[in-house]
């Protein structure tokens, strides 16, 4: 068993599950969306991106692209959350909460594509 591939797959799947856990819940209820889970999703997504940088194959480029999209979506959501909370001094709710969750949903879709690619890549590997 290749430990590098295990770690790679672990972080891809963990990025998906953390993002899904944050995304799941009502659009109008901030208590359904934990800030620490959101932070963990960002950190794991960034780690996942770093792990994808070294692959020089075409599939590796697609892996990297999906990861960069997820990072961009999550970081944009963090900027919205930060502006609402710290610049405007308001609680995250209403339109701002919907924006953060929607951006997280975009990242979730990118993570889902990464996992599908991982499964396809795993299925095509010949022993």
Q: How confident is the model at residue 127, as a pLDDT? A: 62
Check: CB of residue 19 under 8 Å from CB of residue 71. Answer: no
Distance of CA 3 to the CA centre of its chain: 22
Q: Could you state, in order of their start, the residue ranges of all structural domains in the chain?
A: 3-124
Residues in Cβ contact with 83 at an 8 Å cutoff, skipping those fewer than 6 apart? none
Check: CB of residue 20 under 8 Å from CB of residue 71. Answer: no
> What's the whole-number mean pLDDT along residues 94-107?
92
Q: How confident is the model at residue 42, as a pLDDT? A: 96
Q: Counting Cβ atoms within 10 Å, is residue 13 exposed (0-12), middle (13-18) or buried (19+)?
A: middle
| pLDDT at residue 105 is higher than 80 | yes
Q: How confident is the model at residue 19, as a pLDDT? A: 95
Terminal C-alpha separation, the chain = 11
For the CA atoms of 41, 43, 46, 48, the dihedral, rounded to the nearest 10 degrees, stands at -70
| pLDDT at residue 103 is higher than 90 | yes
* Global confidence as pTM: 0.90
Check: CB of residue 36 under 8 Å from CB of residue 80. Answer: no
Q: How confident is the model at residue 69, as a pLDDT? A: 97
**pLDDT tens sequence across 51-60:** 988 888 888 8
Output the CA angle 92-93-95, nearest 5 degrees.
110
Q: Residue 34: CA atoms inside 13 Å, Cβ hemisphere, count?
A: 9
Both structure tokens of 65 = 């692209």
**Averaged pLDDT score across all residues of the chain:** 91
């Amino acid at each position: 068993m290749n430990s590098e591939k295990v770690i790679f797959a672990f972080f891809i799947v963990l990025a998906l599950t953390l993002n899904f856990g944050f995304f799941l819940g009502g659009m109008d209820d901030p208590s359904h969306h934990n800030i620490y889970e959101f932070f963990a999703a960002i950190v794991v997504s960034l780690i996942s991106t770093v792990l994808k940088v070294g692959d020089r194959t075409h599939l590796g480029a697609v892996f990297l692209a999906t990861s960069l999209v997820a990072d961009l979506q999550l970081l944009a959501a963090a900027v919205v959350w930060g502006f609402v909370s710290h610049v405007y001094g308001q609680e995250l709710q209403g339109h701002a909460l919907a924006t953060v969750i929607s951006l997280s949903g975009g990242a979730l879709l990118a993570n889902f594509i990464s996992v599908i690619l991982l499964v396809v890549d795993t299925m095509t590997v010949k022993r």
